Structure 1
Amino acid sequence: MFTIEHEFDATVITLVDELPEGSPLGARPLNEDVVIQSFDDRIIVEQYDPDTGELAQIVFTIEQLEELRAALNLPEGNYRLERR
């Protein structure tokens, strides 16, 4: 499940981990929600870490996000995206 909220300066997407329908209760531990904040110049991915009690945060530039999107669909190797 996920939610999308449009705020003043960002779009916030929250990915909620849930058990697939029909799974036996306790089949696997559920992960904490992943919150993705999209700004004009960066993307912030956050997830609470129950082991440390802290919020883990990763900041991507828009270019890094484009490279990640491309990398998910490419075989092993070195690549450089052409910028237009």
Structure 2
Amino acid sequence: MFTIEHDFDATVITLIDEAEPNTRPLNEDVVILSFDDRVVVEQMSPEGDEVVRVVFTMHQLTELRLALNLPEGNYRLEQRDGKGL
């Protein structure tokens, strides 16, 4: 299950873990905040005492998206005509 909310300066997507009763422990929700210049992924630590946060630039997010569909190896994105990716 997930929710999508549009705030003033960000879109907030929350991924809510669901499982059949007594099949496995539930994981903490994952919150994804999408801004104009970055994407922030947050999740409560397993101990429940702090929020763990990862910040991606838009370039890093593009590389991640592409990497999910490529085989093992080293890659570098090339800019074309100075227009970026």
Q: Does 2:16 match 1:16?
A: yes
Q: Does 2:52 match 1:56?
A: yes
Find the aligned partners of 2:14 and 2:65 in 1 and give their Cα distance. 18
Deviation by residue 1:23-80 (Cα, 9 ceiling, x = unmatched): 4x21111100000000000000000013251100000000000000111111100011
Aligned residue type for 2:4: I
Once the two structures are aligned, what percentage of the paired residues are identical?
A: 69
SS in 2 for 1:68: helix
Point out where structure 2 has 5 or more consecutive residues left out of the alignment. none
- Structure 1 segments of 4+ aligned residues over 4 angstroms from their partners: none
Aligned pairs, number: 80
In structure 2, the partner of 1:67 is 63
Find the aligned partners of 2:47 and 2:71 in 1 and give their Cα distance. 34
Aligned residue type for 1:77: G
Aligned residue type for 1:48: M
Aligned residue type for 1:39: F
SS in 2 for 1:82: coil
Say what the alpha-carbon RMSD is for the aligned residues. 1.1
TM-score, reference length from structure 2: 0.88
Q: Does 2:26 match 1:33?
A: no
